[in-house]
Structure 1
Amino acid sequence: MRDFARSDSPAVQAQLDRLAALSVPQGRLGLDTIRALLSRLGDPHLSLPPVFHVAGTNGKGSVCAFLRAMLEADGKRVHVTTSPHLVRYNERIRVADELVADERLGDLLGEVLDAGEDLAPSFFEVTIAAAFAEFARVPADACVVEVGLGGRFDATNVLPAPAACGIAALGIDHERFLLAPEEGTPEVPLARIAFEKAGIAKEGCSLVTLSYPPAAELEIERAAMTHGAPLAMRGRDWSSSATGTALHYADRHGELVLPLPSLPGAHQAQNAALAVAMLRHQDRLSVSRDAIAQGIRAARWPARLQRLAPGPLTGDRVIWLDGGHNPSAGEALARHFAGERLHLVVGMLEAKDPAALTAPLRDNIASIAVVPVPGHDWHPASAFGPRATAADDVPQALAALPDDGLPVLVSGSLYLAGEVLRLNEELPT
């Protein structure tokens, strides 16, 4: 599977075609290639403004969105790199509060691809090198960097001294990579996931985390001690809870009563609290309480429990969009739709488990329509049980639904979510 991208700009598309032609590194682990590539570009990762580095199985993108919104609310210029993109590759590189422009992106990717032509870098390594190169070129006050996969061997893990590192919710995902047998690593699956994520810890840089089952917490504690990273774990060093009207946060600096996030889903209060904790457990930047509160309200994160706006795809129907595809995401969806019947339109990559969604949502599902994930290998309808029907695409699946007033949830893949946003003309900005 490759992370295909398309652009309306011929100059950008020429470079995206070069990206798509890169070989996928089968079994290659380590940071040697990204370090060599960055060296040829002048080591831009060594010249970045204060960085907030975020790992996790679920929620890390939302944490990045909250961090960005809080920092921007404080008047700061912020660079952000997240993945994957939903509609346009440009979404991966936000430069000083704006998505990188096509006019710049073509030249930027060309520069990086030319520099690493003989290194055989991956799609993601080129993307991160391009982001860091541009971040070092354009002045800003802060960087928010989302880990792509895992942490220990992720291309973003070349960052030498982030202002703070954060770990969001943990779950089982990307098993082929993160649970591959390796001597000296934990055998318990969730502990191994924690081990990989905690690989972003750096000496002297706060490692800010949620609370986890004991085996996972033990691995995070070990990583913090090994790397000399001050550990700030929820339940020990900071706390948070959400009531019906407010998010309550407390740490050694004091207590905050904050608004609830505008992002739907009870889990977003936890993600917002982790962002708050990351800001309050570092000393490189100051962010006011008012900016923290404003950022919690202002944060937006497309395709994560997003209610689609009226558009070409939705018509008058209530349609929710979520890119969730693992058991933790399925459980979060089930909590959000508790007691509510819905039609599920699902497209899921072949490497994922259909039961991750259908099991938690079994009491909610009125019907299941299975669609392809454009450009990828995907599960057929038979993988989702005898009730599932097949459709050629999302518009066909929606057209076949009864006019019964039930909401629709489109889920299973962020790649599918990007196609839905494109069809409904809701491009992330």
Structure 2
Amino acid sequence: MTDTNAFVIENARIVLADSMIERGYAAVVDGNIAEVGEGMAPERGINFGGDLLLPGLVELHTDHLESHYMPRPKVRWDLTAAVMSYDAQIATCGITTVLDSLRVWREDGAEDVDGQAHELSAAIDDARLRGLLRVSHYLHLRCEVPMPDVVEDASALIDRPDIKLMSLMDHTPGQRQFRDPVKLREYYRGKSGGMTDADLDRMFTRRLDFHNRYASNNYQQLVALAGKHGTPLASHDDTTAAHVEQSISDGVKVAEFPTTMEAATRLHDAQVKVLMGAPNLVRGKSHSGNVATADLARIGQLDILSSDYVPSSLLMAALRLPHVSGEYDLPAAVRTVSKTPAEVVGLADRGEIDIGKRADLLRVHLDDDDAAVRSVWSGGHRVA
């Protein structure tokens, strides 16, 4: 192929959605996959030398942009520079489609990044329009249900065409992920250096008050808002039977980080996609002491992996998954970070290596237990 918008990849181990081609080729034309085959390519191309050819990874939940915007407590970086740095990190980790998770709540003094969803989304828009981004960026609105202004803030953003997911969260002390208030104290001491026990006591008291006053009504309004705009819903940290049944009743598409085996099993059986942390799988446990990702994988109830707070963990976890559970061969493991997350948020044009799909592709070299991302293409363009 001589067209500059076309190229061939040869001598690759190709991971398809349901099977493997141990030695094959793929052709890309005008940003899409035009041909996939087994054996020798019809013409010379980029020789993978037996490296893996994977679909670009799809990330539904990462708030890692915040660490680029505020690299140290109370230090805020240039917004556009933060977005570009974050985008570059995402790309080199093999993530070609990312839902940037933005906190949609305001609470003075509780978080390093607090209520900057409008500023961060505007910076993403600016970088996208100026052609500064390497990969596809969409938005995930993380709504803290008990916060007094959360419905107003979500309503101001929901009309954006790049919003693909809204999650309903509740980090009230004693609830869900932080049933153990000691864990919650450890969490905030780690994230917001300098908070004393007295500071935390005041914050926890305020949050309990907000929960009692606002949570129920806000939850109903947010569910209605998502339904009105056709935005897929995600639950967050479902723990009790009541949490689970509420999520199922409200048509939740994704269950983020259910905290118990029982909750995850019921959600999975109800066709809600169970999303768990890739860092949890790599580390072998939850940092909050909840159910381990590996435990769900061993019974085949893990649908989607998320890098959460470590972007490089997404590929690591997918490649380790077949060694953790016999329920997942390599194609099934790769689906948890590509095809399944893409489909659940309506991005049917990507997430697998197939004719007509978007050419979001990775070259991955394996060396024992380590994997190196050697090349990344987004829409057929080399970006890393």
Q: Output the TM-score relative to the length of structure 1.
A: 0.29
Q: Output the TM-score relative to the length of structure 2.
A: 0.31
Bigger share in strand: 2
Q: Which structure has more RCO (C-alpha within 8 Å, separation ≥ 6)?
A: 2
